[in-house]
Amino acid sequence: MRLAAAIPVIGLALLGGCGGHGAKKQAAAQVIPVAKSKTCTAGSVTRLGSPELAYAAVVRSHAAVYRRPGARAFARFGKLNVNGVPTIFWIRGARVDAGCKPRQYLVQIPKRPNGMTAWVTARQVDVERVTTRIVVDLSAKRVTLFDHGRRVLSSKAAIGAPATPTPTGSFYVNQRLIPSDKNGPFGPGAVGVSAFSNVLTGWTQGGPIAIHGTNAPWSIGKAVSNGCIRIPNPVMAKLFRLTLSGTPVLIRV
């Protein structure tokens, strides 16, 4: 299952801002049902997703993204990202034809500024269903995982220090990484989030944010990280197992 794909992490560089069991895969290029009727207004846009269900777009071989349908592409993505895992977008909406078939998807992409959305041609991606959702409460220093709207995991967490705060907003899991050293600073796994540090802009890969384990259990419950979210290793192992790429991540104060 591509949404559960993972690779080893080599060293610290892959998660500069830190210091894909569940759902079944849909058929390739599956059409998301955007209306109960069989006819739509061609060119109309429908918002997609709910707190219980999200859709992920998996790049087939390559994908060009546009600020609006018909515009010139401003960014291009390959089948695999810089870490060698499938490139994933979070589908937020669809532009349909008269038969209600999506022609383009409105997607959130892993680029600055945080939360950036763009349009991608439907034929360039496959569609997957995701029933998990993560909420990071910075005030409570807590990470909670939901599946089908039900809480399945909750844990205290370490968050960004005042000088390197964890960014807030609506993001998604864009990659899942297995550290080469499971006793190292990332613990048994890292769930990459499509957010970037607002401070560490010059770090490797732009200072990406992740939820990961730790070799500093004393830090849990404190604001001490470079922006990433740390949780205890046993909890991280379970969250990694249950969380697919494409999972929405809400980080709030």
Which of 62, 100, 148, 212 does the annotation list as catalytic? Answer: 212
Amino acid identity of residue 141, one-letter, is K
Interior CA angle at 69 toward 67 and 72, to 5°?
60
8 A C-beta contact, residue 80 and residue 91:
no
Question: How many CB atoms are closer than 10 A to CB 198?
Answer: 19
E-assigned strands of the chain? 6-9, 45-47, 54-59, 62-66, 73-78, 88-96, 102-108, 117-121, 125-130, 132-137, 142-147, 150-156, 159-160, 169-179, 190-196, 208-212, 223-225, 229-230, 248-252
Residue 119 carries which side chain, given as an amino acid letter? W
Query: What is the C-alpha separation between 37 and 40, in angstroms, rounded?
Result: 8
- Annotated active-site residue in 18, 40, 62, 228: 228
* Tokens standing for residue 151: 């809480």
Q: Is 40 a catalytic residue?
A: no
CA distance readout (Å), 47 to 55, 76, 88, 138: 11, 23, 18, 28
Q: Is the distance from CB of 147 to CB of 131 less than 8 angstroms?
A: yes
**Catalytic site positions:** 212, 228
